[in-house]
């Protein structure tokens, strides 16, 4: 059974058209260990983009299929070989009982309370992954606070620090 189509509300400005790579696809890219640029993504047709978003990656077999198919998409649509990255193993988003320092720092810099350990452990792997991705240095990360609101970590009425 396929996982439901997964995009977040904070991605709504581009998720419907899939013009940018949704967090759910970025998560799967990390799981399968393939780097995909926005330029490469833009060369995929809607069918390939939808497949990459909708295809489950909950088992080693599904991750392997995802990797193989993505490699084929990249070769066919861009004429380039796929580039490997270290596949996600023990990464910060996977540690459910400890809020990563980067998330705490980003929240504080945005003037909001960071998630508590209890809130962090109640998030899905994809939600934790998204928050961590939204802390990357050198990026605007404007969707960090909207993601915190969407995931129920903050409320609209919550005071800033």
Tens digits of per-residue pLDDT, 18-40? 888 999 999 999 999 999 999 99
Angle at CA 22, nearest 5°, toward 154 and 110? 30
pLDDT in tens, 68-113: 999 999 999 999 999 998 766 558 898 999 999 999 999 999 999 9
Contacts of 50 (CB under 8 A, 6+ apart): 18
pTM of the model: 0.87
Q: CB neighbours (10 Å) of residue 6?
A: 17
Contact 86, 104 (CB under 8 A): no
Residues pairing with 84 in the sheet: 34
- Rg of the chain over CA atoms, in angstroms? 16
């Amino acid at each position: 059974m396929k996982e439901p189509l997964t995009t977040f509300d904070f991605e709504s400005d581009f998720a419907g058209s899939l013009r940018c790579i949704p967090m759910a696809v970025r998560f799967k890219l990390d799981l399968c260990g393939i780097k995909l640029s926005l330029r490469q993504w833009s060369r995929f047709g809607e069918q390939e983009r939808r497949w990459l978003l909708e295809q489950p990656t909950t088992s080693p077999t599904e991750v392997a299929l995802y990797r193989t198919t993505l490699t084929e998409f990249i070769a066919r649509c861009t004429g380039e070989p796929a580039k490997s990255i270290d596949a996600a193993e023990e990464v910060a988003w996977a540690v459910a009982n400890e809020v990563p320092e980067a998330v705490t720092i980003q929240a504080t810099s945005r003037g909001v309370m960071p998630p508590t350990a209890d809130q962090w452990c109640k998030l899905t792997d994809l939600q934790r992954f998204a928050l961590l991705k939204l802390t990357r240095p050198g990026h605007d990360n404007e969707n960090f606070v909207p993601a915190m609101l969407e995931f129920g970590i903050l409320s609209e009425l919550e005071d800033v620090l």
